[in-house]
Amino acid sequence: MTVDEAFSGLIGGPASAAHIHCCAPTGTAAGVAVPFTGFPAATSGTYDMSFDLTLAATYNSAFLTANGGTAASAEAALITALNAGQTYANIHDATFPGGEIRGQLLLTPEPGTAGLLLLGALSALAVTRKRVKRA
């Protein structure tokens, strides 16, 4: 999983922590699933990190334990929650220890998958147009 995040304008001071929370409906608090190691202690910046979801060390220990105790079971829980819109990223600072910035996460298909989907849709459209012209 790749996290590519840009943030700016924190008013509560530099970021003190950031992570993915899981698994709860939009607007509901949830526990930390994946901590963002090396997140910049700044009021503005970027964060780009890849996480290997097959490693137990990727997950917060409480999340790992609550979801079967293995990386495979934690990964399954996280992916299921991502698909259901039940995860969010949160940036914390000293003034807002519960989080100053929160954003619900949505899965984005990798560019190759999106390209193949578009190509398939265009091909289907072309075939349909040929059939209509012949009729």
36-54 residue pLDDT tens: 999 999 999 999 999 999 9
Report the share of the chain in percent with pLDDT over 90.
73
pTM confidence score = 0.77
Nearest to 79 by CA among 116, 51, 98: 51
Confidence of residue 106 (pLDDT cuts 50, 70, 90): confident
* pLDDT-based confidence at residue 23 (cuts at 50, 70, 90): very high
65-90: b (≥16 Cβ within 10 Å) or e: ebbeeebeebbebbeebbeeebbbbb
pLDDT at 29: 93
- What pLDDT band is residue 120 in, cutting at 50, 70 and 90? low
Q: At CA 53, angle to CA 64 and CA 43, rounded to 5? A: 90
Average pLDDT over residues 105-119: 66
Task: Give CA–CA dist 43/96, Å, rounded.
Answer: 13
How far is it, in rounded angstroms, from Cα 30 to Cα 108?
A: 22
Whole-number pLDDT of residue 112: 59
